[in-house]
């Protein structure tokens, strides 16, 4: 419609009203603008996971617009409906980081079946901690919609009611390695690549790595990650270290033969089949599976069908598959033995000592320096490692992001 017609039609309507002797409705009689219909669901109900900072809650809020159009979201909150307490809130930069818009164009049928990082429906990743005694029985969510493009005020929608799985418990894992200096990376945060990775496979979107850790060995005295040239994978203290079965079980699958990546940050493009590198998956009972990835080529010591005991050596830490530096990627999944085709399930470690942590703020500031490379970051890791004067003993907890620990 041309601008002229947009002007003329209101003018003609007003003239007709005046000629008929009618008056316009009072403001109180004008119906309020309709709020867009947006359904919210939580596909995998959260299981509380204890950590030093508080009990962790991690899950995804999936959005299903009734008309197929997702409105602009300004804010999301998670609340305890029994008390009205806001437990989690995200807007601006945080919301942008944890929001996963539906893929445009949408995933193809082949991608939905075989595996893709594209999501068919928008999702929001939510992770927060709850103080002792404050764990809610249920969660409900509010979303604030931005309607300024239509000249309307913001609108708030409530939904996504979900029961917190207090009836379920994390899997207890023994030590996957031994000794001091192990740093847990990419865990207990809504901003990690593990938690934000939404994988659609066999027609279902899941978060297989929801509670995963990347374990990297630092010198327990200096905090350094490598000796000599830090661009070479074999110079890292973790390269070739023994990886242990964290629980009794039966090996479901094991894969060996992928080459070791000799220099850091030089992994070839990953596929569904090569992402885990040389790996082992162990059935630890109750439809739970422990997954170990990125081992040294030729180091796998078990095969499918083998029965293993907790503490048994299953391979050596390496830098194969979708790996930037030598480390162990560890996760527990439920439902099916798959790194990317199963739902991530929480686990805790039976016993470890907290030795300190890497100061992520200091590391981020250094990384912001022009010309500062990841190679230099890892060669200077000792600058960022901060050790406690006295180690703190932990039992049945999930290590915090960047925490440095000692396993028995």
The model's pLDDT over 373-399, given as tens digits with 9 standing for 90+, comes to: 999 999 999 999 999 999 999 999 999
Render pLDDT for 328-367 as a digit per residue (tens, 0 to 9): 999 999 999 999 999 999 999 999 999 999 999 999 999 9
Q: Tell me whether residue 191 is in a domain.
A: yes
Within this chain, do residues 191 and 145 fall inside the same structural domain, yes or no?
no
Within this chain, do residues 189 and 326 fall inside the same structural domain, yes or no?
yes
Q: Tell me whether residue 385 is in a domain.
A: no
Point out the domain boundary residue: 351, 370, 388: 351
Nearest residue to 96 (alpha-carbon basis) of 76, 115, 78: 76
Look up the CATH number of the domain holding residue 302.
2.70.70.10
Within this chain, do residues 176 and 158 fall inside the same structural domain, yes or no?
no
Within this chain, do residues 102 and 192 fall inside the same structural domain, yes or no?
no
Separation of alpha carbons 367 and 376, rounded Å: 9
Q: Tell me whether residue 2 is in a domain.
A: no
Within this chain, do residues 70 and 213 fall inside the same structural domain, yes or no?
no
Within this chain, do residues 153 and 251 fall inside the same structural domain, yes or no?
no
pTM of the model: 0.89
Within this chain, do residues 147 and 221 fall inside the same structural domain, yes or no?
no
Q: What total number of domains does the chain contain?
A: 2
Within this chain, do residues 143 and 197 fall inside the same structural domain, yes or no?
no
Which parts of the chain register pLDDT below 70?
Answer: 1-36
Point out the domain boundary residue: 351, 373, 390: 351
Q: In degrees, to the nearest 5, what angle opens at C-alpha 378 toward C-alphas 373 and 382?
A: 125
**Structural domain for 128, as ranges:** 38-163
DSSP bridge partners of 332 = 290
Q: What is the chain's length?
A: 408
Do residues 323 and 296 lie in contact, with contact meaning Cβ atoms separated by under 8 Å? Answer: no
DSSP 56-92: EEEEEEEEEETTS-PPEEEEEEEEETTTTEEEEEEEH
Q: Tell me whether residue 21 is in a domain.
A: no
Point out the domain boundary residue: 129, 163, 197: 163
pLDDT reported for residue 36? 61
Tokens standing for residue 381: 């890791």
């Amino acid at each position: 419609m041309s601008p002229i017609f947009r002007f003329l039609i209101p003018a003609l309507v007003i003239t007709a009203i005046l000629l008929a002797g009618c008056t316009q409705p009072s403001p109180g009689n004008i119906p309020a603008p309709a709020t867009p219909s947006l359904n919210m669901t939580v596909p995998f109900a959260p299981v509380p996971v204890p950590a030093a900072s508080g009990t962790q809650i991690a899950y995804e809020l999936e959005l299903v617009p009734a008309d197929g159009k997702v409105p602009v979201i300004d804010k999301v909150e998670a609340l305890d409906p029994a008390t009205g307490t806001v437990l989690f809130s995200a807007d601006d930069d945080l919301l942008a980081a944890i929001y996963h818009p539906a893929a445009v164009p949408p995933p193809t049928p082949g991608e939905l079946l075989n595996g893709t990082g594209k999501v068919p429906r928008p999702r929001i990743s939510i992770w927060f901690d709850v103080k002792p005694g404050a764990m809610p029985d249920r969660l409900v969510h509010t979303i604030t919609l931005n309607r300024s493009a239509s000249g309307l005020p913001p609108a708030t929608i409530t939904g996504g009611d979900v029961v917190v799985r207090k009836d379920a418990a994390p899997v207890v894992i023994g030590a996957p390695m031994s000794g001091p200096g192990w740093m847990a990376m990419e865990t207990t945060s809504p901003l990690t690549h593990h938690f934000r990775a939404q994988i659609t496979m066999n027609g279902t979107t899941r978060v297989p790595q929801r509670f995963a850790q990347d374990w990297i060995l630092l010198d327990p005295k200096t905090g350094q990650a490598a000796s000599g040239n830090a661009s070479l994978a074999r110079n890292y203290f973790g390269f070739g270290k023994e990886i242990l079965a964290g629980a009794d079980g039966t090996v479901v699958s094991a894969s060996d033969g992928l080459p070791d990546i000799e220099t850091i940050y030089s992994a070839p493009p990953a596929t569904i089949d090569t992402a885990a590198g040389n790996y082992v998956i162990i059935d630890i009972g109750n439809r739970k599976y422990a997954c170990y990835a990125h081992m040294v080529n030729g180091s796998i010591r078990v095969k499918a069908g083998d029965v293993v005991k907790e503490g048994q050596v299953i391979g050596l830490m390496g830098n194969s598959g979708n790996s930037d530096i030598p480390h162990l990627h560890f996760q527990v999944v439920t439902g099916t033995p798959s790194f990317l085709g199963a739902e991530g399930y929480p686990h805790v470690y039976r016993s470890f000592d907290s030795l300190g942590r890497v100061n992520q703020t200091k590391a981020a500031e250094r990384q912001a320096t022009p010309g500062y490379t990841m190679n230099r970051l890892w060669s200077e890791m000792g600058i960022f490692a901060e050790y406690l004067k006295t180690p703190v003993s932990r039992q049945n907890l999930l290590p915090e992001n960047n925490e440095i620990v000692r396993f028995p």
